Structure 1
């Protein structure tokens, strides 16, 4: 059985290879529901998480650079710098934040990306999406 760190490494490799079948194979059937706005009610939890990953990092061709990693039991917390043409078009060279990934039996059972809104480019990018402390509220 692969360790949580190995599963996370496989996830990053699959994202960089734009290999969605490999990403989907890493997602457990009992994964927690993603809060991604693009998920539709008819999507099950694994499909929702796969859609989030595909839309936010795979299709835009994102490159994830790990700055630091902590593994605590079945949870991997990776501080990341993420570069993508999607962010560049929005005026941000890169964003930073943390992937928090819980792995059980070699599969991802929880996945969250937490942006670092104290970082100027990150806050700027997410504000363009209406997310974060700089988002304009109606």
Structure 2
């Protein structure tokens, strides 16, 4: 989680129309959760809302790779994604997490990690 918190973007993997879908998004790590902002009309938001009890299993991947030196790391978090509805938390994350795209991001989603895996690549070998 420390490595994940050291970068500001990654890729969320979710199910869309019974198939895997991947979207690049920026994130922050707060209180052990991965926090994302999106649009209520986005496929990712719809997938989270369609889950049992408004939660759905997703994966989130981020990395920091240096292709010249062939070093880096990748972290994958798998867990339940839920929409944050508490107005104070929403307002806080709206201040802390600015979208990279010029669109209104009116939904905040938290991923509660259940499984955290990763790989560190040192000197061109996976460790």
TM normalised by structure 1 equals 0.29
The TM-score, its normalising length taken from structure 2, stands at 0.31
| Structure with greater helix share of residues | 1
Query: Would you tell me which structure has more strand in proportion to its own residues?
Result: 2
